[in-house]
Amino acid sequence: MNKKFSRSTLIVPNVTENLVIRDEEFEKLGLQLKDAVNSIFSRSLAIRELDAGSDNSTEIEMVNLTTPYYDVERFGITFVASPRHADILAITGAITHNMEIAVKKTYDAMPSPKFVVAVGDDACSVGIFKNTYAVRNGAETVIPVDMKIPGNPPTPVAIMTGLLGLMHLIRAHKIS
């Protein structure tokens, strides 16, 4: 099922075909992540995405993760509507002054245990807005960050790699 999806229109139902471009690296990462999600998060990892001042390309890549080419729900990952349902807060942007209160409220609304992933250069404190008037210097200046995924924007593969890294980190802490 994973390898196939429908490319037909509704007027030609029940026909499936192989993906033209299949990213083997992504599939491999996805399965590794699925293993980790299965054991650490009981098969379901809920991510709340929060934009605190990105240029919106990172958001587009996050949305892409849920579209047919990537479809991360196959690996037990869902993007949820409320921070109260989330295990992970994926934050983008350097955190503008205008978003700082909303960021804190969103973080506080999450139940523990909770993890924060900074996605994109600005959130990782290495973007072009560093030390300027309108922003804080990255997500870690406002809330604790567990994993950084740099990039302008990071590709879907990079985001998955970062999430897998977070899984390794959580495992290591559990062991120690």
Partner 1 sequence: MIDNIFTVSSLFEEFNQDKNDESYVVLPENKFDIVISAMAGRDVVLIGLFCAQNFEGSGGFTLFYVFERRECKHIVVVQRHLNVPTASSVATLFPSACWFEREISDGFGIAFPDAFDRRPLFLHEKYPDGFHPLRKEVSNQPIETKLVIKPGDEYQFKEMSGEGVYQIPVGPVHAGIIEPGHFRFSVIGETIFNLEIRMFYKHRGIEKLAEGKNPEEAVTIAETISGDESVTNAFAFSSAVEKIAGITVPPRSLYLRSILLEMERIYSHLGDMAGMIVDVAFPRGASHFFILREEMFRQNNNLAGSRFLKGIICPGGLKKDITQESLNHLSNYLDTFLPRLESAVTACSISSVIDRLETTGVIQKELIPLLNITGPAARAAGATIDTRYDHPYAIYPDTGAGFVTSDKGDVMARFNVKAQEIRNSVQLIQNLIKQMPAGGVITPFQIKDGYALSLVEAARGQSMHWVYIKDGLIDRYKVRTASFCNWQAIEHAVMGNIVPDFPLINKSLNLSYAGTDL
Name the site residues for partner 1 (rule: CB under 8 A). Answer: 5-11, 20-21, 49-64, 66-70, 79, 81-83, 93-94, 96-102, 105-106, 128-129, 131-135, 137, 152-153, 155
- For the bound state, the minimum distance from the C-beta of residue 132 to partner 1, rounded and expressed in Å, comes to 5
Backbone phi, then psi, for 126, in 5-degree steps? -125, 15
Please identify, using beta-carbon distances, which residue of 24 and 42 lies nearer to partner 1: 24
- Joined tokens for residue 72: 């991360």
Name the β-bridge partners of 5.
Answer: 17
- For the bound state, the minimum distance from the C-beta of residue 62 to partner 1, rounded and expressed in Å, comes to 5
Pairwise CA distance, residues 111 & 108, whole Å: 8
Pairwise CA distance, residues 54 & 135, whole Å: 11
- For the bound state, the minimum distance from the C-beta of residue 71 to partner 1, rounded and expressed in Å, comes to 9
- For the bound state, the minimum distance from the C-beta of residue 144 to partner 1, rounded and expressed in Å, comes to 19
Please identify, using beta-carbon distances, which residue of 8 and 44 lies nearer to partner 1: 8
- Run of H or E residues at 136: none
Please identify, using beta-carbon distances, which residue of 18 and 176 lies nearer to partner 1: 18
Backbone phi, then psi, for 11, in 5-degree steps? -80, -10
DSSP assignment of 68-101 = TTT-GGGGTEEE-S-GGG-SEEEEESS-BGGGHH
Please identify, using beta-carbon distances, which residue of 50 and 164 lies nearer to partner 1: 50
Place of tokens 């991360």: 72
- For the bound state, the minimum distance from the C-beta of residue 60 to partner 1, rounded and expressed in Å, comes to 6
Please identify, using beta-carbon distances, which residue of 35 and 102 lies nearer to partner 1: 102
